[in-house]
Amino acid sequence: MAPTILIAGATGNTGRSVIETLSKLLPTSKTLSHHRILALTRAASSPTAQQLATFPGVEVVEQNWVDITADWLKHHEVVRAFIASHNKPNQFAEESTFHLAALQAGVQYVVRISTTAANVRPDCGAYYARTHWAIETLLSSPAFGRLQWTSLQPNIFSSFYLGPAAEFIKKYRLTGEQGTLRLMASKEAPVAAIDSDEVGIFAARLLSQDNPAPHHQAKYVLNGPEDITGEQVVGLVEQIIGVPIKSVSYKDLSGLDAFLAQEYMGGQQSRNVVWSIKHAPETAWAGECTASTTSKEVLELAAPQRTPAQVLQSLLKD
């Protein structure tokens, strides 16, 4: 069995581009060319998992990452790992257990996905952002000194940010009716939403470094290449449909209620905790999530390229 780079969350928003990029980078690496990529999925028969299995050097394994132990990591000779955790209320318990297993197994380097940098603090109103702060604090402690790690703090994914605009356009094209364009964005605040694939590309660049030590304990901020306001999103939509939009609702989080109820409440979670997610956009509305905050290391290794207009066009093809 060859030394292994583990990808937990392989079929998620960022995992797919991590694997695709990493499979291209490893053959040219001085130190990692003989490493294999182990992609974890809960459904190896899914179309996405089957596609990942076609990339060079990639092996797909049906395994839930929350059940991984130190012995499992040793058995599979895992030396580096990528993890994009869920953001349910038990995230800290499960992700910290994964990192502890990595420490005990002698894993050398972990790249993890955090959340919007302006929210990663102990007093953020959104519970999951406090969880990411807690995980980063845990990893920064002396007890975890033997485990090298990097935490990526990406802005909101552009597919989420622009999704309602794409659905509005699709409905208008189908029915000729507008309804109300409901945007998470505020009217005036600029936000540099980022394509999730480009977050994965940067993660792969880190994982493929011959020496990851310069990135140990780094917290990198990732944004898209361009800021866009809610008013500018409206302009993009009007340009595509060719007529003025009659009704716009900014700072609109109404679509979250049904999603949160479906995704989180089945396990008798605290509603007070789960619904605190609605505080997450507040930093964006305050103008704290612009392209100017992107870490220089991101721009040097894999500068994001996809503009809001390009992302919106791709969403219309789905």
- Rounded to whole angstroms, the Cα distance separating 19 from 272 reads 36
In terms of phi and psi (left: phi > 0; alpha: psi -120 to 50; beta: otherwise), the region of 60 is beta
Query: For residue 260, what pLDDT is reported?
Result: 80
- Rounded to whole angstroms, the Cα distance separating 121 from 127 reads 10
- Rounded to whole angstroms, the Cα distance separating 163 from 316 reads 9
Residue type present at position 212: P
Q: What is the pLDDT of residues 107-119, one digit of tens each?
A: 999 999 999 999 9
- Rounded to whole angstroms, the Cα distance separating 167 from 93 reads 36
Cβ atoms of 26 and 33 closer than 8 Å? yes
pLDDT above 70 for 226: yes
DSSP 250: S
Instruction: Work out the angle at residue 139's Cα, subtended by the Cα atoms of residues 279 and 128, and round it to the nearest 5 degrees.
Output: 15
Two tokens, residue 149: 């790690």
Q: What is the pLDDT of residues 148-188, one digit of tens each?
A: 999 999 999 999 999 999 999 999 999 999 999 999 999 99
Domain ranges of the chain: 4-154+195-222, 158-192+225-290+305-315
Q: What is the pLDDT of residues 53-83, one digit of tens each?
A: 999 999 999 999 999 999 999 999 999 999 9
57 closest CA partner among 94, 108, 4, 106? 4
Tally of CA atoms within 13 A in the half-sphere of 179 that contains its CB:
14
Rounded to a whole number of angstroms, the distance between the first and last alpha carbons of the chain is 39
Least confidently predicted of 19-23, 45-49, 93-97, 241-245: 45-49
Q: What is the pLDDT of residues 192-207, one digit of tens each?
A: 999 999 999 999 999 9
Query: For residue 44, what pLDDT is reported?
Result: 82
Query: For residue 255, what pLDDT is reported?
Result: 83
Tally of CA atoms within 13 A in the half-sphere of 302 that contains its CB:
25
- Rounded to whole angstroms, the Cα distance separating 91 from 97 reads 10
Predicted confidence band of residue 271 (pLDDT cuts 50, 70, 90): confident
Exposed (0-12), middle (13-18) or buried (19+): which is 300, by Cβ within 10 Å?
exposed
Query: For residue 259, what pLDDT is reported?
Result: 76
Fold of 158-192+225-290+305-315: UDP-galactose 4-epimerase; domain 1 (3.90.25)
CATH 3.10.50.40 correct for 4-154+195-222: no
Q: Which residues make Cβ contacts (< 8 Å) with residue 133, sequence separation at least 6?
A: 120, 121, 122, 124
